[in-house]
């Protein structure tokens, strides 16, 4: 496969004013609706299933399959919630869609809602996206005025309301059940599962929660068909993905690539390679919660769900972070735990108490006060906390921390053996 | 009886109630699953993670027992090494920021965290970094004092205020290990059941300002009882103790589970009603305000009854059924009318739709059962012609002002048999102290027509006679408990084929079965 950018989701990203409905329509927005309404909802679900589209929020659950879990004839309304919380550090793909081509997502919402018989949809957007929410709301207003949303979608006998709900800045509200709690006006804390949202979600009704990018992929699948989508990517990881490449590369940015490309080649050819001619120390493949890859592991890894799982990490959200040789992994871990500790909702014991403890232990090691036992304790706590909690936030912290401890243990030990660490000493010497 | 299912706990087959969550279902057959946040009255929350159990061959293999219904054939793992490790690990995390206040903490001795540490952890602390510091003493109002550091954030108190009282004063603010239970600024607890959060709190985070630092709980004797604070008859535990050189007194009342009457809770007013058992008691026999012996007083009473042309007997609506039977028999014996007038015990509009009743007396239904007249008109009519009033603990000062009483009783000889000092005991020609309800056994009928029995809880240094014994001493024909019970059996058909001790712990609902045919 050629390591080269493709333009499916990002087709209109470079077009000026594509967030405006006139421009967007000129370039094909809402053109799939006639075809959509000529199909049966089951046929739409089948088409999406066939396309192999997987949830782009991080977990990679097949989108069409998720829709088919909705219970039939409950007498309750079905809701669609679009997860635009995008709060995973190093992830910035959805904001491009929200800002550059919001009508693609709105069209996707119409497609999804028609398929699952939903007439009320919510877009949960993270609180920090202040300018983005304005553009999004403007696009929704345009869509209402143009008749694509409201009582009769595009003149068809189909009602659809779309409401934007702004978060207040909590990472955990990206977790789908915390997101639902937040929309309901409660404290954003994850619910115990089961019941899963498809059965009992928003206001106790069956609810589908999809990521922005998953929804935005639908117009292409409708227009060109499942096979055209499957032509990109690998057999099990079909399609394209927006990758946010950041960290120590020459050309950081957002790139759309088919799934399955070799990780290192992407870094070298698409993102210009490690900056300043430095050596590569590690790669975070899909947002801060994914376990780090060593350079030799990165050599064999490809950008798809299966390869990442084989390398004992996760594909995640497409937020690739390149770490060069100067990175202090202990400081990185401290930064990482500090984030997840700060964002722990505080509901359940292991995460609430454990992440704070892990942070303090790491700080102790960083300050030169640590001992070998502290490293072992930190490593043990990763196991003790993970999967004992209501949601996976704790795992989002312990999985990467475990990977740094296992792969870069010598750096932690160095802090204990040479007290304080060499570069800390330098800082202290020259204030 | 609900449906039963068979499942396996640690490989052993047990039969449990279907549909119940695993904590309750398995708990009913005596197998404990540790838990802090779950409470049967408040439902499952799933935040403490202490109740994680393994489900063999199950998906997922690890589940919170509080949220998992018992199902046929389920293979529950509790003693597997990996489950024991999880319990230890979660305990460790519960404890890292928990202050070692046990030596000064009121909860010590009845603290889930303490007990679970002994049962499931017993390891040395590995906490070598600074603990999270929070507020140690917060006045939440209604006599509830909160210590945020001891709190395990189980949220029982929060859920109680949301789900039971529906007042929602409490919430958990902040995230992470900075989470803490708090009230809104200037909006303290304001409900009549607030102190229940102290009982609900599995640790010492919620303490009662009334009980704080009064007693170590392991010194307390825990006797079952029935609250006499109103006609609901909430089941209580009377926690009492006789300290060295002191008398046996009550330190607190706590609600005791009775699903038919009060569930898990009681009101704050009832909870503090124990003070009447400790304080302001009549302890000295007085004849014309001079100290006398009980025998002299009885002799003196007998003489007064003998000389009286029209005596009147007044009974308290708090008297037990047994006492009422004995007193009524005495009235018949001496040919005196008997009244149970006690309108002053009723605070119209004070009750709510939960536990608190307007009627602040414990056994008005018993008065009605014995056909003892309670009307004001009859009482006043009889009092006007009476030359002797024998008052069995009816606090008339609740029904009349002091001046009214003085006026009404100006030319009546008063024999007051009383547990509590009140205006009438000051007026009495003969005053005989009586035992309070924690000092005798008896039975009551509550506002819902449920017959409940209670035992003697306290053993005073100088035990006092209860009203039934005094009635016998004054010439009443009911000389012992057997006589009284035979009489009760005649009055209450539901009792005809049973013994007092066979009355179910939840009480006997007289509205059910043949009891509904009771001729009043």
Confidence of residue A427 (pLDDT cuts 50, 70, 90): low
Q: Do A192 and B89 touch (CB under 8 A)?
A: no
Nearest Cα to A118, choosing from A153, A81, A78? A78
Nearest-Cα residue of chain B relative to residue A190 = B47
* Omega within 30 of 0 (cis) for the link into A195: yes
Q: Which of A288, A305, A324 is the last residue of a domain?
A: A324
Cβ neighbours of B92 in A, within 8 Å: 384
Interface of A with B (CB under 8 A): 170, 172, 187, 192, 341-350, 352-357, 360-361, 363-364, 374, 377, 384-385, 387-390
Matching residue, tokens 């103790």: B241
Q: What is the pLDDT of residue B170?
A: 97
The mean per-residue pLDDT over the stretch B44-71 comes to: 92
Pairing of strands B388-392, B338-339: unpaired
Residue contacts between A and B (CB atoms, under 8 Å): 89
Q: What is the pLDDT of residue B499?
A: 81
Which one has a higher pLDDT value, A418 or B410? B410
Q: What is the pLDDT of residue B19?
A: 87
Partner residue opposite B47 with nearest CB, options A341, A363, A390: A390
Domain assignment present for residue A379? The answer is yes
Q: Which of A324, A346, A379 is the last residue of a domain?
A: A324
Co-location of A219 and A249 in the same domain:
no
Fold of B4-95: Ubiquitin-like (UB roll) (3.10.20)
Domain assignment present for residue A347? The answer is yes
Query: Picking from A55-59, A343-347, B297-301, which range would have the lowest pLDDT averaged per residue?
Result: A55-59
Q: Do A355 and B176 touch (CB under 8 A)?
A: yes
Confidence of residue B57 (pLDDT cuts 50, 70, 90): confident
Co-location of A313 and A356 in the same domain:
no
B398/B423 Cα distance (integer angstroms): 10
Q: What is the pLDDT of residue A242?
A: 97
Q: Do B176 and A387 touch (CB under 8 A)?
A: no
Co-location of A347 and A310 in the same domain:
no
B30/A199 Cα distance (integer angstroms): 34
In angstroms, the first-to-last Cα distance of chain A is 51
Biggest alpha carbon distance in chain A? 74
- Give B500: exposed, middle or buried? Use CB within 10 Å, 0-12, 13-18, 19+: middle
The mean per-residue pLDDT over the stretch A131-157 comes to: 96
Query: What share of residues in chain A are helix, strand, coil (percent, to 5)?
Result: 45, 15, 40
A336/B342 Cα distance (integer angstroms): 71
Nearest Cα to B231, choosing from B56, B452, B12, B20? B452
A80/A160 Cα distance (integer angstroms): 11
Q: Which of A273, A299, A324 is the last residue of a domain?
A: A324
Taking the CA of residue A374 and the nearest CA in chain B, the distance in Å comes to 9
The residues facing B39 across adjacent strands are B43
Q: What is the pLDDT of residue B222?
A: 97
Judge contact between B360 and B315, C-beta under 8 A.
no
Q: Do B176 and A356 touch (CB under 8 A)?
A: yes
Count the domains in chain A: 3
Confidence of residue A159 (pLDDT cuts 50, 70, 90): very high
The DSSP symbol for A269 reads I
B130/A86 Cα distance (integer angstroms): 33
Chain B interface test: which of A168, A181, A357 (most B C-beta within 10 Å):
A357
Check residue A312 and give left, alpha or beta (phi > 0: left; psi -120 to 50: alpha). Answer: left
Q: Which two tokens stand for residue A429?
A: 């010497």
Res. A97: pLDDT tops 80: yes
* Kind and range of the H or E run holding A274: none
Taking the CA of residue A128 and the nearest CA in chain B, the distance in Å comes to 18
Q: Which two tokens stand for residue B251?
A: 């330190």
Res. A428: pLDDT tops 90: no
Distant-in-sequence, close-in-space partners of B501: CB < 8 Å, separation ≥ 6: none
Q: Give me Rg for the CA atoms of chain B.
A: 27
Distances (CA, A) of B165 to B193, B233, B505: 7, 19, 26
Dump the DSSP string for B272-321: HTTHHHHSSB--S-EETTEE--HHHHHHHHHHHHHH-SSEEEEE-TTS-H
Distances (CA, A) of B234 to A135, B448, B484, B485: 61, 12, 25, 23
Q: Which two tokens stand for residue A375?
A: 């490293």
Judge contact between A333 and A284, C-beta under 8 A.
no
Q: What is the pLDDT of residue B58?
A: 81
Co-location of A91 and A112 in the same domain:
yes
Confidence of residue A429 (pLDDT cuts 50, 70, 90): low
Nearest Cα to B253, choosing from B276, B232, B231, B283? B276
Distant-in-sequence, close-in-space partners of B78: CB < 8 Å, separation ≥ 6: B9, B10, B31, B33, B53, B54
Matching residue, tokens 């014994």: B469
Task: For residue A64, count other CB atoms closer than 10 A to its CB.
Answer: 20
The C-alpha angle with vertex A361 and arms to A359 and A366, in degrees rounded to 5, equals 95
Q: What is the pLDDT of residue B249?
A: 96
Domain assignment present for residue A410? The answer is yes
Co-location of A141 and A221 in the same domain:
yes
Report the 3 state secondary structure along A207-261. Answer: EEEEEHHHHHCHHHHHHHCHHHHHCCECCCCECEEEEEEEECECCCEEEEEECCC
The mean per-residue pLDDT over the stretch A136-140 comes to: 97
Predicted TM-score (pTM) of this structure: 0.93
Task: Map residue B109 onto helix, strand or coil.
Answer: coil
Co-location of A224 and A345 in the same domain:
no
Fold of B129-208: Alpha-Beta Plaits (3.30.70)
Interface of B with A (CB under 8 A): 44, 46-50, 52, 62, 64, 67, 86, 89-90, 92-94, 96-97, 126-130, 132, 152-153, 172, 174-179
Nearest-Cα residue of chain A relative to residue B68 = A194
The mean per-residue pLDDT over the stretch B158-175 comes to: 96
Nearest Cα to B334, choosing from B306, B315, B314? B306
Q: What percent of chain A has pLDDT over 70?
A: 97
Domain assignment present for residue A419? The answer is yes
What tens digit of pLDDT does each residue of B240-279 get? 999 999 999 999 999 999 999 999 999 999 999 999 999 9
Domain assignment present for residue A12? The answer is no
Domain CATH for A302: 3.10.20.600
> Which residues span the domain enclosing A419?
329-429
Q: Which two tokens stand for residue A141?
A: 């207003």
The mean per-residue pLDDT over the stretch B447-453 comes to: 96
Write phi, then psi, for B167 (nearest 5 degrees): -105, -25
Judge contact between A351 and B92, C-beta under 8 A.
no
Confidence of residue B519 (pLDDT cuts 50, 70, 90): very low
The mean per-residue pLDDT over the stretch B33-40 comes to: 96
Partner residue opposite A364 with nearest CB, options B47, B129, B178: B129
Domain CATH for A89: 3.40.50.11540
Cβ neighbours of A344 in B, within 8 Å: 175-177
Domain assignment present for residue A1? The answer is no
Co-location of A128 and A265 in the same domain:
no
The mean per-residue pLDDT over the stretch A288-310 comes to: 97
Q: What is the pLDDT of residue A424?
A: 54
Q: What is the pLDDT of residue A340?
A: 97
Dump the DSSP string for A119-149: -EEEEEE-TT-HHHHHHHHHHHHHHHHTTSS
Confidence of residue B224 (pLDDT cuts 50, 70, 90): very high
Distances (CA, A) of B294 to A236, B284, B417: 96, 9, 11
Co-location of A71 and A220 in the same domain:
yes
Q: What percent of chain B has pLDDT over 90?
A: 93
Judge contact between B337 and B313, C-beta under 8 A.
yes
Domain assignment present for residue A3? The answer is no
The mean per-residue pLDDT over the stretch A58-74 comes to: 91
Q: What is the pLDDT of residue B515?
A: 45
Confidence of residue B465 (pLDDT cuts 50, 70, 90): very high
- Give B25: exposed, middle or buried? Use CB within 10 Å, 0-12, 13-18, 19+: buried
Domain B217-278 -> CATH class: alpha beta
Res. B471: pLDDT tops 90: yes
ipTM confidence: 0.91
Co-location of A313 and A409 in the same domain:
no
Co-location of A263 and A205 in the same domain:
no
Domain extents in chain B: 4-95, 129-208, 217-278, 286-517
What tens digit of pLDDT does each residue of A395-425 get? 999 999 999 999 999 999 999 986 455 555 5
Nearest-Cα residue of chain A relative to residue B97 = A353
Taking the CA of residue A75 and the nearest CA in chain B, the distance in Å comes to 25
Fold of B286-517: Rossmann fold (3.40.50)
| Tally of CA atoms within 13 A in the half-sphere of A189 that contains its CB | 20
Q: What is the pLDDT of residue B3?
A: 87
Co-location of A53 and A202 in the same domain:
yes
Taking the CA of residue B20 and the nearest CA in chain A, the distance in Å comes to 16
The mean per-residue pLDDT over the stretch A213-239 comes to: 96
Q: In A293-421, which residue ranges form alpha helices assigned H by DSSP?
A: 295-300, 305-310, 329-343, 349-366, 372-385, 393-407, 409-417
Task: Map residue B21 onto helix, strand or coil.
Answer: strand
């Amino acid at each position: 496969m050629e390591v080269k950018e493709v333009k499916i989701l990002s087709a209109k990203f470079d077009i000026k004013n594509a967030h405006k409905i006139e421009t967007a329509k000129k370039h094909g927005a809402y053109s799939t609706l006639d075809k959509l309404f000529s199909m049966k909802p089951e046929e739409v679900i089948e088409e999406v299933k066939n396309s192999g589209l997987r949830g782009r929020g991080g977990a990679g659950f097949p989108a069409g399959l998720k829709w088919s879990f909705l219970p039939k004839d409950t007498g309750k309304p079905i809701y669609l919630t679009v997860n635009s919380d995008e709060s995973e550090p190093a992830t910035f793909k959805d904001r491009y869609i929200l800002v550059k081509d919001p009508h693609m997502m709105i069209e996707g919402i119409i497609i999804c809602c028609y398929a699952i018989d939903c007439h009320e949809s919510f877009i949960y957007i993270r609180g920090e996206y202040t300018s983005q929410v304005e553009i999004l709301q403007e696009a929704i207003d345009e869509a209402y005025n143009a008749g694509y949303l409201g009582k009769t979608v595009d003149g068809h006998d189909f009602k659809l309301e779309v409401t934007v709900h702004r978060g207040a800045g909590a990472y955990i509200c990206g977790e789908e059940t915390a997101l639902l709690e937040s929309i309901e006006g409660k404290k954003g804390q994850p619910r115990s599962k089961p019941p899963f949202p498809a059965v009992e979600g928003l206001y106790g009704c069956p609810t589908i929660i999809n990521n922005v990018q998953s929804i935005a992929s639908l117009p292409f699948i409708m227009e060109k068909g499942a096979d055209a989508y499957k032509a990109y990517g690998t057999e099990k990881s079909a399609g394209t993905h927006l990758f946010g490449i950041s960290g120590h590369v020459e050309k950081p940015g957002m790139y759309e690539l088919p799934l399955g490309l070799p990780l290192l080649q992407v870094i070298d050819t698409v993102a210009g390679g490690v900056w300043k001619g430095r050596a590569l120390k590690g790669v975070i493949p899909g947002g801060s919660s994914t376990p780090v890859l060593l350079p030799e592991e990165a050599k064999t890894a490809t950008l798809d769900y299966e390869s990442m799982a084989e390398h004992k990490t996760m594909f995640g959200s497409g937020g690739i972070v390149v770490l060069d040789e100067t990175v202090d992994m202990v400081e990185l871990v401290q930064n990482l735990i500090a984030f997840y500790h700060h964002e722990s909702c505080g509901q359940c014991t292991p995460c609430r108490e454990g992440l704070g403890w892990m942070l303090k232990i790491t700080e102790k090691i960083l300050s030169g006060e640590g001992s070998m036992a502290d490293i072992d304790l930190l490593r043990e706590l990763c196991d003790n906390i993970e999967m004992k909690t209501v949601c996976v936030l704790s795992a989002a912290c312990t999985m990467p921390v475990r990977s740094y401890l296992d792969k870069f243990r010598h750096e932690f030990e160095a802090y204990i053996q040479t007290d304080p660490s060499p570069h800390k000493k330098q800082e202290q010497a020259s204030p | 009886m609900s449906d039963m299912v068979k499942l396996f706990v640690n490989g052993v087959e047990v039969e449990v109630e279907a549909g119940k969550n695993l904590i309750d279902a398995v708990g009913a057959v005596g197998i404990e699953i540790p838990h802090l946040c779950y409470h049967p009255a408040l439902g499952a929350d799933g935040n403490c993670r202490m109740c994680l159990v393994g489900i063999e061959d199950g998906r997922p293999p690890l589940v919170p027992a509080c949220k998992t219904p018992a199902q046929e054939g389920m293979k529950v793992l509790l003693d597997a090494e990996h489950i024991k490790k999880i319990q230890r690990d979660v305990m460790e995390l519960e404890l890292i920021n928990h202050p070692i206040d046990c030596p000064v903490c009121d909860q010590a001795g009845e603290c889930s965290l303490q007990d679970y540490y002994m049962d499931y952890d017993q390891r040395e602390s590995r906490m070598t970094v600074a603990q999270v510091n929070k507020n140690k003493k917060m006045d939440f109002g209604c006599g509830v004092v909160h210590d945020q550091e001891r709190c395990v954030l189980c949220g029982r108190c929060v859920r109680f205020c949301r789900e039971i009282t529906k007042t929602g004063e409490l919430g958990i603010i902040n995230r992470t290990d900075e989470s803490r239970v708090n009230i809104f600024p200037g909006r303290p607890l304001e409900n009549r059941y607030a102190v229940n959060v102290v009982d609900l709190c599995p640790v010492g985070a919620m303490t009662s300002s009334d009980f704080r630092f009064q007693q170590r709980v392991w010194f307390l004797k825990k006797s079952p009882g029935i609250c006499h604070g109103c006609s609901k008859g909430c089941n209580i535990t009377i926690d009492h103790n006789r300290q060295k050189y002191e008398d046996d007194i009550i330190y607190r009342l706590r609600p005791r589970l009775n699903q038919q009457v009060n569930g898990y809770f009681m009101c704050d007013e009832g909870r503090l009603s124990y003070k009447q058992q400790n304080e302001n008691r009549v302890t000295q026999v007085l004849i014309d305000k001079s100290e006398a012996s009980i025998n002299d007083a009885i002799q003196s009473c007998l003489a007064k009854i003998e000389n009286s042309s029209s005596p009147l007997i007044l009974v308290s609506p708090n008297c037990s059924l047994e006492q009422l039977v004995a007193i009524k028999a005495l009235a018949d014996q001496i040919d005196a009318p008997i009244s149970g007038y006690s309108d002053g015990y009723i605070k119209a509009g004070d009750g709510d739709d939960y536990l608190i009743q307007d009627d602040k007396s414990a056994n008005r239904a018993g008065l009605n059962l014995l056909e003892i007249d309670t009307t004001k008109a009859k009482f006043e009519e009889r009092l006007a012609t009476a030359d002797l009033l024998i008052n069995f603990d009816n606090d008339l000062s609740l029904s009349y002002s002091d001046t009214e009483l003085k006026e009404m009783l100006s030319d009546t000889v008063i024999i007051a048999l009383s547990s509590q000092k009140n205006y009438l005991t000051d007026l009495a020609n003969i005053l005989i102290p009586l035992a309070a309800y924690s000092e005798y056994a008896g039975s009551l009928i509550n506002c819902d027509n449920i017959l409940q029995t209670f035992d003697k809880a306290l053993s005073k240094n100088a035990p006092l006679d209860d009203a039934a014994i005094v009635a016998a001493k004054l010439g009443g024909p009911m000389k012992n408990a057997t006589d009284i019970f035979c009489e009760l059996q005649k009055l209450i058909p539901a009792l005809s084929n049973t013994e007092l001790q066979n009355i179910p712990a939840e009480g006997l609902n007289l509205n059910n079965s043949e009891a509904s045919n009771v001729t009043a």
